[in-house]
A and B are shown apart, each in its own frame.
Chain A
Amino acid sequence: MQDKNSSYNKNRFDLKSITHTSGFSSFTSALMAIFLGLIFGFIVMLVAMPENSLAGFQYVVFGGLNRIGDVFYFATPILMTGLAVGFAFKMGLFNIGASGQYTMGMFFAIYVGFMWDLPSNIHWIVAILAGMLGGMIWGFIPGIFKAILNVNEVITSIMFNYIGMYLVDMIIQGSSVMYISTKTRTNYLPASVQIPSLGISGSNVNFGIIFAIVIGIILYIVLQKTTFGYELKATGFNKHASEYAGMKGKTNIIITMIIAGGLAGLGGAFAILAPSAIAGSSMTYEPINIIAANGFNGIAVALLGNSHPIGIIFSSVFISHIQRGGTLASLVGYKPEIIDVVIAVIIYFSAFAMIMNSALARFIKKRVDKKHAAMETKEGEAVQSDLDEVSDNGREEAE
């Protein structure tokens, strides 16, 4: 009896050491959110067009596998904006301005591409760095507004999404070198700024994805192994405590926002300098007064990846995967917007999937405990009856 109990405890301990890490619980809650989101998408498809729903759903879930190159190609920019949102999130800042930073990065890269004449082996590198600089500037502004003037970074970065978008459109439309008014878009960038392709046949996946993944890993190291990363997370957990411990909260806010902006700017540069998959999808920019969608997709990526750099790498590939699937679903008559609906639902659930998960875990635990309690009371009753017998015997003896 004793042995059985201890071995049971030991087993439970082992299982707990895996299931009770924060990484595991965020992974399961992400899975749960994805599951619920996909179910919702399937229901929408079922309502819209019952006869094709299974085929369409199959495309959404597995379609991306046939176009793995495209999946990585389109994952690159959202991986970068995802890192931009997630990195700021670690600090407790909600960087909804990734769109503006992304647009700025794009613009700076375009500017270097058109205006600077450099040898082709360094031109694209300079353009990428310029993109990073553009994003950094656009991240610096909300940072300084937050740190010095106490303006909520959500409002600032939303406003600067619009300001950046109008500003870029204005400058591009004003430049005769970049803009062709008859085509209402810019000229094609010179080939010297194009990021080299990885050479996988049938896709335009390029060095951008490699850079992006390396940057993600570097961020992981920064967050886990450096003093700055520690201070960042500490400030995110408890602003007042970290300040009390002597960390410079305001400086850290500005630095975080600069880094986040730089990441999103890199995303913009990677997107615009990539070899085009579809004509007009990159190497040229169309000023149409619309905020870059990739910035908002970055929010989805970051939330799904639980703001963890490695998690974000996987979630960006996943989001890109179902987006490709959504495009393929149009083969059987569905609109690709179904994926945006699915992503929104995934985020909605991921906001409280953690709580739902722990509630579920509590529920299961309660049931298990109840069983145990029942068993224990049975045992207890047995002991009690033994005792009663003993006392009865004693009484009899006394008589």
Chain B
Amino acid sequence: MDIVYYLIQNMLPVAMPLLLVALGGMFSEIGGVVNIGLEGIMLFGAYIAALFVYLVQNTGMNPQIVLLLGMLIAALAGLIYSLLLSFAAVTMKADQVITGTSLNMLIPAAILLFSKMFFNSDGITTNMNFYIREIPVLGNIPVLGKMFFQRTYLTVIISLIFLIIAIIVFYKTKFGLRLRACGEHPHAADSVGINVHRMRYAGTSISGILAGIGGFFYSVGIMDGNVNGHTGVAGFGFLALAVMIFGQWKPIRIFIAAIFFAFLRTLAYSVALIPFLYNLGINQNYYKMMPYLATMIVLAFTSKKSRAPKAEGIPYDKSQR
């Protein structure tokens, strides 16, 4: 039973960045912009927020407040960086995949450059502890308390709040409906007076905000608040895209998919702690491959009836109506 608790406690901080970034990708794609630059946006958000944490870590501020402020800064950084994608993909009608790729390439290089010049290292190392041993009251609930409210991070609860907001925006608001219209049939949306360019900017900006926060939560939950230009976010931006496709561009299914992948990854990294798996004596690299292999297997079965937004990846050109 302890192993189950351990796996769940470790899985949630991994699942949450995936969830947030995949939701971000969803908002971008239902508006019609393929955001392959999520990886870069995550890393940028994580780096700027880590820089903030690095600057305030010795002022004696409450770690949880630093976490919240860092989150806001990461969101802002992600938003600003995603504007580069919006500008190229929406205003300049450039190829969205190429633009996203260039955004992915820029950030690791820029981080290495900046860190080597100012910190003489490959990234930023912070020593702030965001870990929560036990949430008061809630942590005392018999089984659930131990699963969800002990040895955790504030990031888990915040991410779940974001999930609820995303569901409401997606299904219950005029904005969500209009955004989806822009991804399915932008010409029809334009004909009833929706500003497609503005909606697409909004969709990409939301994805920038969520990816920035997701990046910061990744560094908090998985890297102990450190950011490194070499490993970056270890392909989480791309994994999030797979999670989004697996989740068929729907928030709740994305949540389930994120949990699934996070579970596999946590399992892969805790093989040494699980006697049964450890005794099998399989190389650890094999387990590290698992999340990616599982992604492929799942995608092989779900992609046939893919519900991708129809107009995604196609720049909107008014004159083609």
- Residues of chain A lying within 8 A (CB to CB) of residue B93: 352, 355
A48/B117 in contact, CB under 8 A:
yes
Given A300-B105, A348-B103, are A163 and B293 neighbors across the interface (CB < 8 Å)?
yes
Q: Give the CA-CA distance A348 to B87 in the complex, in Å.
A: 11
Interface centre among A335, A338, A348 (most CB of B within 10 A): A348
In the complex, chain A residues 148-178 whose Cβ is within 8 Å of any chain B Cβ: 149-152, 154-156, 158-160, 162-163, 166-167, 169-170, 173-174
Tell me whether B106 is interfacial, beta carbon within 8 Å: yes
Partner of A348, one of B36, B106, B117: B106
User: Complex formed: what's the CA distance from A290 to B230 in Å?
Assistant: 8
CB-nearest residue of chain B relative to A339? B109
Q: Report if A158-B238 is in contact (Cβ < 8 Å); known contacts: A163-B292, A169-B285, A296-B105.
A: yes
Given contacts A170-B286, A335-B113, A356-B92, contact A155 B299 (CB under 8 A): yes
Q: Is the CB of B235 within 8 A of A166?
A: no
Kindly list chain A residues whose C-beta atoms are within 8 Å of the C-beta of B241: 154-155
Which of A151, A170, A289, A344 is the one whose CB lies under 8 Å from B283?
A: A170
Asked whether, in the complex, the Cβ of A345 is within 8 Å of the Cβ of B292, the reply is no
Q: Is A269 on the interface with B (CB-CB < 8 A)?
A: no
- With A152-B303, A348-B84, A351-B94 as contacts: A341 and B109 at CB distance below 8 Å: yes
Q: For the complex, would chain B's binding face be called helix, strand, loop or mixed by DSSP majority?
A: helix
Known: A158-B238, A166-B289. A345 touches B102 (CB 8 A): yes
The A-contacting residues of B in range 85-104, CB under 8 angstroms, are 88, 92-95, 97-99, 101-103
Q: Taking the complex as formed, is B242 at the interface, i.e. its CB lies under 8 A from any CB of chain A? A: yes
- The residues of B that contact A154 with a CB separation of less than 8 Å are 36, 97, 241
Distance in angstroms from B246 CB to nearest chain A CB is 10
Q: Write out the residue numbers on chain A whose beta carbons fall within 8 Å of the beta carbon of B97.
A: 94, 154
Contact A156:B296 (CB < 8 A) given known A173-B285, A290-B230, A337-B113: yes
Chain B residue numbers with a CB within 8 Å of A96 are 101
Question: Are A151 and B101 in contact, with the CB atoms below 8 A?
Answer: no
Is A347 an interface position by the 8 A CB rule?
Answer: yes
**Does B195 interact with chain A (Cβ within 8 Å)?**
no
Closest to B110 in A: A341
Contact (Cβ within 8 A) B102 A155: no
Q: Is B116 an interface residue (CB 8 A)?
A: yes
A263 within 8 A of B: no
The count of residues in chain B whose C-beta lies closer than 8 Å to any C-beta of chain A is 43
A340 interface hit (Cβ, 8 Å)? yes
**Distance between Cα atoms of A340 and B110 in the complex (Å):** 8
Q: Give bound CA distance, A304 to B241, whole Å.
A: 26
Cα of A347 to Cα of B283 in the assembled complex, Å: 39
Q: Is the interface of A mostly helix, strand, loop or mixed?
A: helix
- In the complex, how many angstroms separate the beta carbon of B319 from the nearest chain A beta carbon? 14
B137 within 8 A of A: no
The answer to whether B51 has its CB under 8 Å from any CB of chain A is no
Residue A343 interfacial (CB < 8 Å): yes
B112 at the interface (CB under 8 A from A): yes
Whether B288 and A166, one on each chain, are in contact in the complex, defined by CB atoms closer than 8 angstroms, is yes
Residues of chain B within 8 A (CB-CB) of A356 are 92
Check: B304 CB closer than 8 A to any chain A CB: yes
Is A114 positioned at the interface, with any CB of B under 8 Å from its CB? no
CB pair B303–A150 under 8 Å, yes or no, is: yes
Whether a CB of chain B sits under 8 angstroms from the CB of A207 is no
B235 touches A338 (CB 8 A): no
Within 8 A of B (CB), among A126-161: 145, 149-152, 154-156, 158-160
Contact indicator B296/A145 (Cβ below 8 Å): yes
A156's partner among B92, B95, B101, B299 (CB-CB below 8 A) is: B299
Other A-B contacts than A150-B304, A341-B113, 12 sampled, CB-CB below 8 A, are: A94-B97, A145-B300, A163-B293, A170-B285, A289-B285, A296-B101, A299-B105, A344-B102, A350-B98, A351-B94, A352-B99, A355-B94
Q: B residues near A, CB below 8 A?
A: 36, 84, 88, 92-95, 97-99, 101-103, 105-106, 108-110, 112-113, 116-117, 230-231, 235, 238, 241-242, 245, 283, 285-286, 288-289, 292-293, 295-296, 299-300, 303-304, 306
**4 nearest A-B pairs in the assembled complex, by CB-CB distance:** A340-B109, A352-B94, A344-B106, A170-B285
The 6 listed contacts between A and B (C-beta, < 8 Å) are A149-B300, A154-B97, A167-B289, A340-B105, A352-B92, A355-B93
Contacts from A to B (Cβ < 8 Å) = 44, 48, 94, 96, 145, 149-152, 154-156, 158-160, 162-163, 166-167, 169-170, 173-174, 289-290, 296, 299-300, 303, 335, 337-338, 340-341, 343-345, 347-348, 350-352, 355-356
